[in-house]
Amino acid sequence: MAFTRSRLFTLATLLTALTASGSAFAHAHLEHQYPAADASVTASPQAITLNFSEGVEANFSGITLTGPQQVAVKTGMAKRNEKDEKQLIVPVEEALKPGAYQVDWHVVSVDGHKTKGKYLFSVK
Ligand SMILES: [Cu+2]
């Protein structure tokens, strides 16, 4: 009896551990961003703000911003929102002229996994 009960306990513990690690292995997916993907904004944004499904490590995360005629736009160091570890903020250091812009982002989430992606927005 004691043996069975301890086996059950071990099994329950193992299942709990597997469930917990299952969520820890989820990668950081981009959930929303500002300026929004495919949006057309009237004012040049002062920062690119990215919200992920998981916490991200700012030191290993960033973007490249490419404007019209494939010209790279100068951006500052990526920072994590102090109150929200899932939000990455990248300052845009020059005024964006009207045209289409591409954001190529890469992040390392707090579980150490890398994800990347890209999207477009435009400035009127
Ligand atoms: Cu992951």
The partner residues of 32 in beta bridges, in order of sequence, read 51
50 CA from centroid of ligand 1 (Å): 17
Report the pLDDT value the prediction gives residue 96, as an integer from 0 to 100.
98
Span from the CA of 112 to the centroid of ligand 1 (angstroms): 7
| CA–CA separation, 10 and 18 (whole Å) | 12
Tell me the residue range of the domain where 115 lies.
26-123
Tokens encoding 123: 């400035």
Q: Is residue 17 part of a domain?
A: no
Measure 77 CA to ligand 1 centroid, in angstroms: 23
- pTM of the prediction? 0.79
The pLDDT assigned to 6 comes to: 63
- How much distance in Å is there from the Cα of 1 to the middle of ligand 1? 40
102 part of a folded domain: yes
What is the CATH number for 111?
Answer: 2.60.40.1220
Q: Which residues pair with 6 in a beta bridge?
A: none
Count of domains observed in the chain: 1
- Is 2 domain-assigned? no
State which H helix or E strand residue 22 sits in.
helix 2-24
* 4/1 Cα distance (integer angstroms): 5
In a domain, 48, yes or no: yes
**For residue 64, which of 52, 79, 76 has the smallest C-alpha distance?**
76
Q: Which has the minimum average pLDDT: 13-17, 29-33, 74-78, 107-111?
A: 13-17
pLDDT per position as a tens digit, 22-60: 445 579 999 999 999 999 999 999 999 999 999 999 999
Predicted confidence (pLDDT) at residue 90 exceeds the cutoff of 70: yes
